[in-house]
Amino acid sequence: MQGGSGAGFASGPAHRSPETSSKCYGTTISCTAVQRITSVPKTFLQIDNISVSYGANRILDGIDLHIAKGEFVALLGSSGCGKTTLLRTIAGFAQPDAGAIRVGSRDVTTFPPDKRGMALVFQSYALWPHMTVAQNIGYGLKLRRRSAADIAGTVTEMERLLGLTGLSARKPAELSGGQRQRVALGRALAINPEILLLDEPMSNLDARIRLQVRHEIRALQQKLGITTVHVTHDREEAMVMADRIVILNAGRIAQEGRPEAVYNRPQTAFVATFMGAENQLILPGGADGETIAIAAGASNAACRVPRDGRMLSTGHLEVRFRAEAATLEERSLAAVPNGEGLVLAGDIVDVSYPGGLWRHTVRVGRQMIQVDAPRACAPGTVVHVTVAPDNLFLFDAPAGTIPAALPHPATALNEARVLEASPN
Ligand SMILES: Nc1ncnc2c1ncn2[C@@H]1O[C@H](COP(=O)(O)OP(=O)(O)OP(=O)(O)O)[C@@H](O)[C@H]1O
């Protein structure tokens, strides 16, 4: 296991609560001013304009990411987008073509992995099969020529922290997947790294254990206050564990922010889709003053939603929403009152029960959408689907997705106005 000497565990995540960490010094600056200045968390791990290629293939392209001490950042993205490459570059196992990596005041870009003060937990755990739990956890300390007493003390402490007490003498083959994962974590933490890098450490665990281990890792990370970068393709895992989510797409950062911000305010259709808004419709409409107008079509009523600063041109919209964010009612479009949000007419094609809610496939014109509902609607039922304004994610429709049969955008907007003005 790689890892440097480390400078000792931090006492706690300094960035999480600027209000509580801010203090008022002196008499000439007001508390408000000091709080405003200190509320910007100080960068500890700084990734500046990093680009990485394998041969002629550019894998990472100008990644900028500043991580505060004690922060837990999840790198999220679909397979092949470059998550592991970024983690390996931070760790020093892959060399960037351009850019720099800094830890505190040190530029570590050219440092070998074991001089960076970091530890990496691999997806496969990479435990030594012939060594016991205690020997695996103490391995990095032995390489660093620590005294036997020092190693024994750290190993005991790691076993206690990770719930491995009593398993010291077992070999990896005699452990469950969850226990092996904890040994790998113990081995990483034993060397007292400043930064913990996790490469999908839970992907080999079954679903139930994964839920438990994700909470254990997060609790331990908060207790130790250790700066952590966690690679995952599991959205829910990133949401529940991280202070900040960074979504990668084809080697670039698509969006970053607090989990609830990325979930509720996706800035692109890619991020909306990745965060679960998989229903997609292309509808005529666009920005009109302080609102966004969607024109009436064969399968939808006209509607207006607040613009909320969204930059959209008049034309066609890509409308996205989550299956659980829509409601389903057994009535036709004609009976729909105004002002509910987007209302679509359709018929049920299929219904299944994945658990909790019934999942319906609804045909809307020529497109299919998924809608969850507490009660099952039989196939063939004519329904309308309502999506409240807050649950609609609206983007300019990409070229090539605009159906030929839809009305001209200018006409569509006019029609939207006429329909809204008409008394039903
Ligand atoms: N050593 C390598 N040599 C050449 N290409 C590589 C190498 N490692 C990764 N790649 C390529 O770089 C791209 C990004 O790989 P990476 O492992 O970083 O993706 P990822 O987002 O972590 O994917 P996954 O979630 O599937 O692990 C992929 O196209 C992959 O095939």
Token pair belonging to 129: 């099969």
pLDDT for the residue 416: 40
pLDDT for the residue 240: 95
pLDDT for the residue 334: 57
The preferred substitution site among 52, 57, 88, 95 for testing ligand 1, maximizing ligand atoms within 8 Å of CB, is: 57
What is the three-class DSSP state of 44?
strand
Which residue blocks in 162-232 are alpha helix, DSSP H?
Answer: 177-190, 207-224
| Ligand 1 center–CA 99 separation, angstroms | 19
Token pair belonging to 135: 């020997």
What is the three-class DSSP state of 75?
strand
Ligand 1 touching residue 96 (CB < 6 A): no
pLDDT for the residue 3: 35
Give CA–CA dist 150/141, Å, rounded.
9
CATH 3.40.50.300 domain position(s) in the chain: 18-117+193-264
Q: Residues 78, 79, 83, 89: what is their CA dihedral angle, to the nearest 10 degrees? A: -160
Q: Residues 19, 22, 23, 26: what is their CA dihedral angle, to the nearest 10 degrees? A: -120
* Single-letter amino acid code for the residue at 42: K
Pick the atom of ligand 1 nearest to 54's CA: 4
Which residue's C-alpha comes closest to atom 20 of ligand 1? 80
The residue with tokens 């008409």 is 422
Q: For 141, how many CA atoms within 13 A lie in the half-sphere containing its CB?
A: 23
Give CA–CA dist 258/209, Å, rounded.
25
Ligand 1 touching residue 112 (CB < 6 A): no
pLDDT for the residue 336: 55
So what's the ipTM on this one?
0.97
Ligand 1 touching residue 54 (CB < 6 A): yes
Which residue's C-alpha comes closest to atom 2 of ligand 1? 54
Residues paired with 240 in a beta bridge = none
Which residue's C-alpha comes closest to atom 30 of ligand 1? 80
| Ligand 1 center–CA 194 separation, angstroms | 26
Give CA–CA dist 38/28, Å, rounded.
16
- Asked if residue 63 lies in contact with residue 232, where contact means CB atoms within 8 angstroms, the answer is no
Q: CA Rg, the chain, in Å? A: 26
Could you list the pLDDT tens digit for every one of the 424 residues in the chain? 333 333 222 223 333 333 333 332 222 333 344 444 445 678 999 999 999 999 999 999 999 999 999 999 999 998 999 999 999 999 999 999 999 999 999 999 999 998 999 999 988 778 999 999 999 999 999 988 999 999 999 999 999 988 899 999 999 999 988 889 889 999 999 998 999 999 998 887 788 788 888 888 899 899 989 999 999 989 999 999 999 999 999 999 999 999 999 999 999 999 999 999 999 999 999 888 888 989 988 888 888 888 887 788 768 899 999 999 999 988 765 555 556 789 999 999 999 999 999 999 999 998 999 999 999 999 999 999 999 999 999 999 887 666 554 443 333 334 344 334 443 3
> What CATH number was assigned to the domain covering residues 18-117+193-264?
3.40.50.300
CATH 2.40.50.140 domain position(s) in the chain: 279-421
Query: Directed axis angle between helix 133-143 and helix 148-161, to 10°?
Result: 130
Ligand 1 touching residue 181 (CB < 6 A): no
Question: Which CATH architecture group holds 279-421?
Answer: Beta Barrel (2.40)
Q: For 52, how many CA atoms within 13 A lie in the half-sphere containing its CB?
A: 28
Ligand 1 touching residue 81 (CB < 6 A): yes
Which residue's C-alpha comes closest to atom 26 of ligand 1? 79
The residue with tokens 């400078």 is 7
How many Cβ atoms sit within 10 Å of the Cβ of residue 110?
A: 11
Give CA–CA dist 385/392, Å, rounded.
13
- Asked if residue 254 lies in contact with residue 270, where contact means CB atoms within 8 angstroms, the answer is yes
Q: How far is CA 208 from the centre of its chain?
A: 20
Ligand 1 touching residue 251 (CB < 6 A): no
Ligand 1 touching residue 79 (CB < 6 A): yes
Ligand 1 touching residue 56 (CB < 6 A): no
pLDDT for the residue 401: 67
- Give the chain's end-to-end CA distance (angstroms, integer): 70
State the pTM of this model: 0.81
Ligand 1 touching residue 162 (CB < 6 A): no
| Ligand 1 center–CA 122 separation, angstroms | 15
The preferred substitution site among 52, 53, 81 for testing ligand 1, maximizing ligand atoms within 8 Å of CB, is: 81
Give CA–CA dist 373/304, Å, rounded.
24
pLDDT for the residue 403: 59
